[in-house]
Structure 1
Amino acid sequence: MRTQTGELFVGFNPAISKDALKKISGQVRSWRLHRRTRLSVADLAKRINPVVRGWMNYYGAFRRSALYPLLLRINAYLMRWLRKKFKQLRGRKKADRAWERAVATRPKFFAHWAWVNLVPAVW
């Protein structure tokens, strides 16, 4: 089979489509995690884990690395939540240490931490 440019099509690498990724990203934004400071971290995990776990199982079955930017974005929202919930963690170093402690003590607390548990670089 040849492509429109005449190159030979030699493989197929299934991954999440751009449209699906855009839809999922919109859903994550609609959660407004960083604004739910009245919830506990357990409540947040209870709300998002089933949904994120489903996305990981469905879209990550073939190429999980395509989901990493989305999962990192969820981490960024969680970091914003952490910094708004606990005022003493507004500074970057303190927030980073708190994040690392949380991941070290409960590495599977959030479903996506099994794949991506990095301290988010985005503030």
Structure 2
Amino acid sequence: AARDKKSECFTSFLPAVSKKSIKAIKEKVKACHALETTTVNLVEIANELNPKIRGWFNSYGKFYPSELKLRLRYINHRLMLWARRKATKEPLLFEHWKQGVIP
């Protein structure tokens, strides 16, 4: 048991996402074939990733959502990298890309 600011005892247990699970999440995102090519669109990427993300929220989101959200930033990072590659393939895809604001 731990002690709080008032020196009262309390249980200091917080459920967490294990290191093994974190690694598995990253591996499943890396295995997403849609993120490896710029010939697909965002809908195809979403169709591949959404069932996995939904499952992670169902498994880990109830007990420690803040930890899960930290891990989901990795997906955002991978999407950003995909968008950068897409920008070089299709430099005029979005209006702000045409104006020179490229991710």
Structure 1 stretches of 5 or more lacking a match?
Answer: 3-7, 96-123
Aligned 1:1-123 pairs, distance under 5 A: 10-31=11-32, 33-87=34-88, 88=91, 93-95=101-103
**Distance across 1 between alignment mates of 2:50 and 2:63:** 20
Q: Deviations over 1:42-78 (max 9, x none)?
A: 1111110111111012111111111223211111111
Q: Tell me the percent identity.
A: 34
**Distance across 2 between alignment mates of 1:27 and 1:9:** 37
Q: How many residues align?
A: 88
* Secondary structure at 1:82 match in 2: helix
The list of structure 1 runs, each at least 4 consecutive aligned residues, that deviate by more than 6 angstroms after superposition, is: none
* Secondary structure at 1:94 match in 2: coil
The amino acid across from 2:87 in the alignment is F
**Distance across 2 between alignment mates of 1:17 and 1:43:** 29
**Distance across 2 between alignment mates of 1:35 and 1:63:** 30
**Distance across 2 between alignment mates of 1:78 and 1:25:** 13
Cα RMSD of the aligned pairs, angstroms, is: 2.4
**Distance across 1 between alignment mates of 2:69 and 2:37:** 24
**Distance across 2 between alignment mates of 1:9 and 1:93:** 52
The higher relative CO (CA closer than 8 Å, separation ≥ 6) is in 1
**Distance across 1 between alignment mates of 2:31 and 2:55:** 18
TM-score, normalization by structure 2: 0.70
TM-score, normalization by structure 1: 0.60
Decide which moves more: 45-54 or 64-73.
Answer: 64-73
* Secondary structure at 1:75 match in 2: helix
